[in-house]
Structure 1
Amino acid sequence: MKILKFGGTSVANAENIKLVKNILQKNEGTKMAVVVSAFGGVTDLLLSTLNLASQQDLNYENNLNKIEERHLQTIKELFPVELQSGILSKVKSELNDLETLLEGSYLIGEVTPKLGDKVVSYGEILSSFIISQFFKSEGIELELKNGRELIITDEVFGSATVDFELTYTHCNNYFTNTPHKVTIIPGFVSSSYSGKPTTLGRGGSDYSAAILAAATNAEVLEIWTDVSGMYTANPKLVKQAKCVAHISYEEAMELSHFGAKVLYPPTIQPVLHKEIPIIIKNTFAPDDEGTTITKNKNGSGKTVRGISHVSEISLLSLEGPGMVGIPGVSKRFFETLSHEQISVVMITQASSEHSICVGISDKDAKKALLAINKAFEYEIASNKIKEISIESELAIIALVGDNMKSHQGLSGKMFSTLGKNNVNISAIAQGASERNISAVIRKEDVKKALNTLHETFFEENIKQLNLFVMGVGNVGSKFLEQIRLQKSYLKEELKLNLRVIGISNSRTMAFHENGIPLENWQNFLDEGQKANSERFIQAIKELNYRNSIFVDNTANKTIASHYATYLKSSISVVTCNKIACSSEYSNYKELKKLAKQYNSPFLFETNVGAGLPIIDTLKHLIASGDKIIKIQAVLSGSLNFVFNNFNDTTTFHDVVKQAQEEGYTEPDPTIDLSGIDVMRKILILARESGHELEIEAIKNDAFLPQESLETNSNEQFFDSLIKYESDFQRLYQNAAKKECKLKYVAQFENGTAKVGLQEIPKGHDFYSLEGSDNIILFYTERYINQPMIIKGAGAGADVTASGIFADVVRIGNF
């Protein structure tokens, strides 16, 4: 014999009920008990209606009309007109009885648990009748059996306790003697010894089915719902969640206790002792394998089987010196909660006996606070116990698995994973069976925590990076294109999955929670909202994604000023914007400190040398114990391009204009030609070498006329270059006479730095530097006679974008 239970979503409407009929017909010839829930959402509507009536709010009548319309409409869609009359008559009769009960509640202005059981049971009573009549009309031979005649309980209305001995007797008598292959039974409902209507509590339809399975020694209990089994995490919150083919009873209980909605926790208990398999199946995808729940016979399987959570949790803490060594404090504490019908979800206690902390539902927090304050009134007044504290709007997140106890380091892995993503933990608990590890976190961090832990324990080490890109001009657009082209490679070879969640230029910004399609990001951005750097930050915080990285492709001072805000939110920063790292030394150090404090990398490789590994190499030298003695470098790709192409057959104006048009200079070319850009770069290298230096201390031997430096627009600047062409030609001729080349050189030695135009003779390492290349010489204690040389393209959108890309990959590999 099989027991099949169909939940509210499976019987939510006429279309879904027809799917249930198809499932039954596939089991034709098998003896079945089919337990059905109320139509989806009806139980909540009944509770809401009763609540309104008890408050003497006439809006309860509107709800009642909705309930009636829902059932009558389903009948009209399921049955031909000629079959509707008798069914409508029966349903309206039941609804009239329901209306009478609600009117009574309205008149007296209150509701009792006994009345609540009567009212809320109408959902299953009505659905089971309609469904059974439809199945009969479709040729399925069956009987409708009232669950109240089978499941007997005490008279604790609202959540009755089952008398299993009497219930099993009733079930055996019925199923042994019934000639029908199929029996339809309303779930959730039961009756007391004296025949009064009771219910089994929310989720009680699952429980009804489990009781029937145990009573009849069924071969299997099938729970049909709207998902294809139990998942490694909630698939609505974790897109990468996978269905678990097989888990143990104990694992299923832990997962359902911690929020896995597909199974009501008490369901497992009746079938566990008789080792009746439970199969979770999808009504809307009946051919999917689903999840089978059985005894774990050999201890095989993955260490962590699932990650679940419970929302709307409050932490209630009792602490004080008067608790230490005093017997009975815990007893009084938990008895008080028990008397108030408050369920405790999680318990932690300090080994010093100084405090007890419990997790309870948010809805019970106020009631618990009042009760505990009253129970410990004397101890609080005499300062033996502190004022009771409650922290609300929390959630419990739990790792579950039978084999966790045999693996070391799981707790450390869990907590370090959460810590890296700035998920603060308020309390921790681990069951004595070592089958679960639970942590209390902020409610708003649940999605990030679930995804982060799922990535760590289930996704074959594929790490997802969520990028927020500011600036999509020359460099930014190349960066996005590189991500698009390399996405598959990164996933397959480096186990990194890059998603661009947000992008912005100076006009508009746009976000997509599942990733912006990089094939047409321009169109997506054009349809976005007005750009605002503050709102951009706020949007990233509200999304609260794991492994979030802010990428700054601008040269904007305001954007750079926000880095600290990102880092404090555990959002990594990758930037080619040199402003932050060349600002006041105190700001530079603060950003570096925040990156360590909040475990949010702050990388700026492209600040010097675009895509060349200059800063990274310097870091490795310092980390290995080497010491920088001197740095000599040509660090401006734009200036090198200019002086490599400027001669007596060209004009300085035309060469600079060409450099700007080809993307070698900043949008404002005075930043490059004034030497400010090179000053910033040598300053950053000096600081990364361990020296405290401000930009004002760097000597700048400027070659531009003062008038050019003081222009207010690009047009004025280029006009000034024409005016002073003879001065630039003189610089060239003087160098040419000596068979030298002009190079703009930066140098740092003995704690001091300088930049300026130099005449470089033949044979020097800088002499043959072509195009827009950069070159840097590191003289160190290990490289004292022959310096370490790094040379290559030091400007251009492609190489700068590749340097930013490399920094993002570095973060992915942290």
Structure 2
Amino acid sequence: MENFKNYQKGNSSADLTSEFTLLEKLYEGVALLGDYSKKIKDNVLAQGEVISGKVVTQALKEKGINANFSDTRQLIKTDAKFGNAQPVDAISRKNVQSHFKSNNGTTVNIVTGFIASSTDNETTTLGRNGSNFTASLLANYLEAEELQSFTHVDGIFTANPDLVPDAQKIDQLSFEEANEIATFGATILHAKTIIPLIEKKIPLRILNTFNHTHNGTLINSENSRKGIKSLSVLENVTLVNLEGRGLLGKPGIDARIFRALAQNNISVSIISQGSSERGIGLVVESKDAQKAKDAIEAEFELDFYTHDVSSVYLTENVSVISIIGQELATFNKPYDALIRNQIVPILFNNTVTGKNVSLVVERVQLKKALNVIHSEIFGITKKVNLVVFGHGTVGKTLINQLLETRENIIQRKGIELNIVAIANSRQFIFDAKGVSKKWQSELESSTQKSSIEGILKAVKEHHLGNLIAVDTTASKDFVTNYVELIKNGFDLVSANKIANTKEYSFYKNLRENLHFYQKNYLYETNVGAGLPLIDTIRLLHHSGENITRIRGVFSGTLSYLFNTFSTSDKNFSDVLNEAIEKGFTEPDPREDLNGNDVGRKLLILARELDLSNEFSEVKIQNLIPENLREGSVSEFLARLEELNPIYLNTKNNQAENHVLRYVGDLSGDLSVENGASLEVSLVSVPKESSLGQLKGSDSIFEIYTESYGEHPIVIQGAGAGAAVTARGVFGDILRLAEKSK
């Protein structure tokens, strides 16, 4: 009480003696009798409203404003249901109209909210959102032109901005839409607030107390444009599940459930029923969950005995997302987006009107689910979150391409390619809003140790969806992380050939996980850099076209080497040095000359035709003599002239008008298992043939099919280079992003 008295003396000149005296008596009575009933609680709570009203009234008077304190206990009459009383309209309307008729004109009426009194003059309260309810009652009784509700936000949003940063303010809603939003969890609006306004078609405007320049959200009787309006959330709920095969065909199950719950004053927000009443799910407030379970078990006690009901159990830690304005006919888009992001709703239903859909999801997935749905429904742009592994020549080029073209892609495609993480073998950087153009220096100074676990943790903590992992490494070890990434919701894009050429058991397991988790894996640059080779072969094969042979020059490095050597008088070693100087080769040129890279590419194409060959089955002609295969790079480079007589002899022994090409050849009966021959070798071809006319470092591929006969489909172009490869990876990323849009 001392604090109350100090408050009265120090902060306001309003006379609050009677309120503090009453509070003191109420508390003494509670202490003595140990009785704190709803009736007493209403009386205590009412004093807070009265004190606030008197303080505001006095403050306005001291500013020269003709303010009048109005106690709604004298105006609004209710029944005697303490804690959640219901107004008696006829009496309340007459009191309000009489009061405001006497206190009109220049008078500013400061009216208490939330409180009223029963017809026996006992203090009551109007329950949750009672102050706004009071305002809407006054608006109805006085036939106001507009009711304005000042809150802490700019209006009603398409989702809770605390959960969805991209939420947008809604300018206008119909009463029906606002009622649905309020029913399904909007905290700044309650369904009962709207009801008195609908009767008189009085608009309600939600405004921000701290932003006087904003026009807020207008709610009125006018139909707004069709479409989805908002995502509302119900938290602190539990799913009650009733299961029983014996319920098949039995009428009245729902009625028994609702009767049992009603007798225990338990309200159900959502119900979803399986076929033939064998499974029924109910969403109730968590505080009522155990009581609801007990009530249903008691109701169906005999059915347990006859085994018609098998179990009643609770699913806790769930939340409800309601999509207001969502028609079931178009629900596939947000639902598909959830599934793509590995969020599987536990339960869903739609309203009788068919324009609202509610989903029950695990609480830990709530924020991610909200953001995924919101992006799918309201997003002006589709945000795709990228994690790039590796920043070598290709990786660095790709990252810079993505950052430089980001705004252009947003404008042209409506897709935001957001690089959230970049990792090498030592450390990584992470920014949910997207890394900056200073990513290289930030990565070098990063103290975050690189690990798949660390990156996955960061992604989960920020509830990111639409994830793509981009592998620009050449690491044999890193590809073992692919399945873990898939399981955690990532699609894959890779320039790394290893995953597609490892043992077939790994290859098959990877595909099975992709299928199970419904994820995508694109790797067009694995063969032919930026050329559309793999896509073409995949399309032909899946359409039923019988591909009979694939032959071509697979390596841009070896293409340059033999294209130049075949048509010039230069020594082989001189041409090889030129290729090294131009950066066409690996740091150790033997990685190109041993033919393994071409062999891996040939195997990738074989597996695209559903062949299960292993790398060991590829016949590869190693271009390095055995005596030069060992030793350091510097030792090899010092002995390059030893290659000259070998390749000069090969060149001179060709038929006339022939040239040398290092060719990969997939042939045989490609329609049956073990029917394929995979061979990589140096061959002599006519100068006028498609392979013979190859120039520079281009690659070329001939695809023979039954339909095309002796006339192959020819794909030719730049088959090497960081910029070309990076652009091909970029294309795969964009294709995945557009596919999920």
> Which structure 2 residues correspond to residues 742-781 of structure 1 after superposition, within 5 A?
742-750=660-668, 751-760=676-685, 762-781=687-706
Change over 3 Å in CA distance of 1:328–1:471 after alignment to 2: same
- Deviation of 1:799 after TM superposition, in Å, equals 1.0
- Deviation of 1:419 after TM superposition, in Å, equals 2.7
Q: Which residue of 2 aligns with 1:313?
A: 237
Change over 3 Å in CA distance of 1:642–1:331 after alignment to 2: same
Aligned-pair RMSD on alpha carbons? 3.2
Change over 3 Å in CA distance of 1:781–1:704 after alignment to 2: same
TM-score (norm 1): 0.82
> Which structure 2 residues correspond to residues 192-207 of structure 1 after superposition, within 5 A?
192-207=118-133
> Which structure 2 residues correspond to residues 198-347 of structure 1 after superposition, within 5 A?
198-296=124-222, 301-326=225-250, 328-347=252-271
Q: Which of 402, 406, 411 is the equivalent residue of 1:483? A: 402
SS at match of 1:133: helix
Separation in 2, partners of 1:654, 1:103: 99
Separation in 1, partners of 2:391, 2:72: 65
Assess if the C-alpha contact under 8 Å between 1:652 and 1:721 holds in 2.
Answer: no
Separation in 1, partners of 2:611, 2:572: 43
Once the two structures are overlaid, the 10-residue window that deviates more, 635-644 or 274-283, is: 635-644
Amino acid at match of 1:720: F
Change over 3 Å in CA distance of 1:188–1:380 after alignment to 2: same
Q: Which residue of 1 aligns with 2:553?
A: 634
> Which structure 2 residues correspond to residues 351-366 of structure 1 after superposition, within 5 A?
351-366=275-290
Assess if the C-alpha contact under 8 Å between 1:702 and 1:757 holds in 2.
Answer: no
Amino acid at match of 1:512: D
Separation in 1, partners of 2:736, 2:703: 26
Amino acid at match of 1:416: D
Matched, 1:367 2:282: no
C-alpha deviations, 1:9-51, integer Å up to 9, x for none? xxxxxxxxxxxxxxxxxxxxxxxxxxxxxxxxxxxxxxxxxxx
Separation in 2, partners of 1:245, 1:655: 66
Q: Which residue of 2 aligns with 1:618?
A: 537
Separation in 2, partners of 1:668, 1:543: 42
Amino acid at match of 2:605: L
Amino acid at match of 1:744: Y
- Deviation of 1:121 after TM superposition, in Å, equals 4.7
Separation in 2, partners of 1:476, 1:229: 44
Q: Which of 54, 69, 74 is the equivalent residue of 1:149? A: 74
Assess if the C-alpha contact under 8 Å between 1:707 and 1:720 holds in 2.
Answer: no
Assess if the C-alpha contact under 8 Å between 2:590 and 2:624 holds in 1.
Answer: no
Q: Which residue of 1 aligns with 2:338?
A: 418
Assess if the C-alpha contact under 8 Å between 1:204 and 1:264 holds in 2.
Answer: no
SS at match of 2:391: coil
Assess if the C-alpha contact under 8 Å between 1:612 and 1:792 holds in 2.
Answer: yes
Assess if the C-alpha contact under 8 Å between 1:229 and 1:244 holds in 2.
Answer: yes
- Deviation of 1:616 after TM superposition, in Å, equals 1.2
Separation in 2, partners of 1:211, 1:616: 66
Amino acid at match of 2:571: D
Matched, 1:435 2:355: yes
Separation in 1, partners of 2:307, 2:547: 61
Assess if the C-alpha contact under 8 Å between 1:576 and 1:607 holds in 2.
Answer: yes
Separation in 2, partners of 1:653, 1:104: 101
Matched, 1:729 2:647: no
Separation in 1, partners of 2:113, 2:532: 67
- Deviation of 1:576 after TM superposition, in Å, equals 0.6
Change over 3 Å in CA distance of 1:120–1:305 after alignment to 2: same
Separation in 2, partners of 1:494, 1:612: 22
Change over 3 Å in CA distance of 1:201–1:783 after alignment to 2: same
Q: Which residue of 1 aligns with 2:673?
A: none
Amino acid at match of 1:224: F
- Deviation of 1:102 after TM superposition, in Å, equals 6.4
- Deviation of 1:184 after TM superposition, in Å, equals 1.6
SS at match of 1:580: helix
Matched, 1:586 2:505: yes
Q: Which of 696, 720, 725 is the equivalent residue of 1:800? A: 725
- Deviation of 1:373 after TM superposition, in Å, equals 2.7
Change over 3 Å in CA distance of 1:424–1:722 after alignment to 2: same
Assess if the C-alpha contact under 8 Å between 2:561 and 2:576 holds in 1.
Answer: no
> Which structure 2 residues correspond to residues 346-745 of structure 1 after superposition, within 5 A?
346-401=270-325, 409-459=329-379, 462-517=381-436, 519-525=437-443, 526-527=445-446, 529-643=448-562, 647-648=570-571, 650=573, 654-655=577-578, 657-658=580-581, 662=583, 664-665=584-585, 670-706=590-626, 709=629, 716-723=632-639, 725-738=640-653, 742-745=660-663
SS at match of 2:225: coil
Separation in 2, partners of 1:371, 1:456: 40
Change over 3 Å in CA distance of 1:645–1:124 after alignment to 2: farther
Separation in 2, partners of 1:666, 1:611: 19
Separation in 1, partners of 2:272, 2:395: 49
Amino acid at match of 1:428: F
Separation in 1, partners of 2:299, 2:46: 36
- Deviation of 1:653 after TM superposition, in Å, equals 7.5
- Deviation of 1:485 after TM superposition, in Å, equals 2.4
Separation in 2, partners of 1:687, 1:492: 38
Assess if the C-alpha contact under 8 Å between 1:121 and 1:189 holds in 2.
Answer: yes
- Deviation of 1:182 after TM superposition, in Å, equals 1.5
Separation in 2, partners of 1:558, 1:203: 59
Assess if the C-alpha contact under 8 Å between 1:251 and 1:435 holds in 2.
Answer: no
The size of the alignment, in residue pairs, is 723
> Which structure 2 residues correspond to residues 29-108 of structure 1 after superposition, within 5 A?
85=10, 87=12
Q: Which residue of 2 aligns with 1:38?
A: none
Separation in 2, partners of 1:787, 1:304: 51
- Deviation of 1:348 after TM superposition, in Å, equals 1.9
- Deviation of 1:557 after TM superposition, in Å, equals 2.6
Unaligned runs of 5+ in 1: 1-60, 76-83
Q: Which residue of 2 aligns with 1:79?
A: none
Change over 3 Å in CA distance of 1:793–1:102 after alignment to 2: farther
Change over 3 Å in CA distance of 1:589–1:110 after alignment to 2: farther
Assess if the C-alpha contact under 8 Å between 2:271 and 2:282 holds in 1.
Answer: yes
Separation in 1, partners of 2:60, 2:338: 51
Change over 3 Å in CA distance of 1:506–1:350 after alignment to 2: closer
C-alpha deviations, 1:519-553, integer Å up to 9, x for none? 22224433452211222233334434332111111
- Deviation of 1:454 after TM superposition, in Å, equals 3.1
Assess if the C-alpha contact under 8 Å between 2:602 and 2:666 holds in 1.
Answer: yes
SS at match of 2:499: coil
- Deviation of 1:603 after TM superposition, in Å, equals 0.5
Separation in 1, partners of 2:520, 2:378: 25
Separation in 1, partners of 2:32, 2:621: 93
Unaligned runs of 5+ in 2: 669-675
Change over 3 Å in CA distance of 1:670–1:283 after alignment to 2: farther
Amino acid at match of 1:787: P
Change over 3 Å in CA distance of 1:89–1:176 after alignment to 2: closer
C-alpha deviations, 1:662-708, integer Å up to 9, x for none? 3x445665543332222111111111123221111111111224465
SS at match of 2:346: strand
Once the two structures are overlaid, the 10-residue window that deviates more, 195-204 or 480-489, is: 195-204
SS at match of 2:331: helix
TM-score (norm 2): 0.89
- Deviation of 1:316 after TM superposition, in Å, equals 0.7
- Deviation of 1:643 after TM superposition, in Å, equals 4.8
Separation in 1, partners of 2:572, 2:619: 32
Q: Which residue of 1 aligns with 2:672?
A: none
